[in-house]
């Protein structure tokens, strides 16, 4: 897994959703500059940011990090409360 794959997938998902970096940054609670660095591969998103992005885009973290080319998310387990 490389930041280039992550960045490319994040940019692809954002652009196909017709969104601006600022909108995704606001969703994550980071600056637009930080989010831009995710897309360029200069900075790797945290695990919680990746989970949030996968839920936002309706895909899996596996897709975002390049472990699969299947955009369909896995079934999520419900936690026992």
Residue 20 located in a structural domain? yes
**CATH number for position 24:** 1.10.260.40
Residue 69 located in a structural domain? no
| Domain assignment of residue 57, given as a range | 3-64
- pLDDT tens-digit readout, 5-34: 999 999 999 999 999 999 999 999 999 999
How far apart (Å, rounded) are the C-alpha atoms in residues 41 and 39? 5
Model confidence at 61, pLDDT cuts 50, 70, 90, reads very high
Residue 43 located in a structural domain? yes
* Residue 53 CB partners (closer than 8 Å, separation 6+): 10, 13, 24, 28, 45, 64
Residue 73 located in a structural domain? no
Q: For the chain, what is the largest distance between any 2 Cα atoms, rounded to a whole number of angstroms? A: 39
Give the pLDDT mean for 54-67.
94
Residue 18 located in a structural domain? yes
Instruction: Count how many domains the chain has.
Output: 1
Query: Which residue would you say has higher pLDDT here, 80 or 35?
Result: 35
Residue 59 located in a structural domain? yes
How far apart (Å, rounded) are the C-alpha atoms in residues 67 and 49? 17
Query: How many distinct helices (H) and strands (E) make up the chain?
Result: 5, 0
């Amino acid at each position: 897994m490389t930041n280039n794959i992550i960045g490319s997938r994040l940019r692809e998902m954002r652009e196909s959703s017709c969104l601006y970096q600022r909108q995704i940054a606001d969703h994550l609670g980071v600056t637009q500059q930080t989010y831009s660095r995710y897309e360029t591969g200069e900075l790797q998103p945290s695990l919680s940011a990746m989970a949030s992005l996968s839920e936002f885009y309706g895909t899996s973290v596996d897709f975002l990090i390049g472990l699969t080319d299947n955009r369909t998310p896995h079934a999520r387990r419900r936690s026992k409360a």
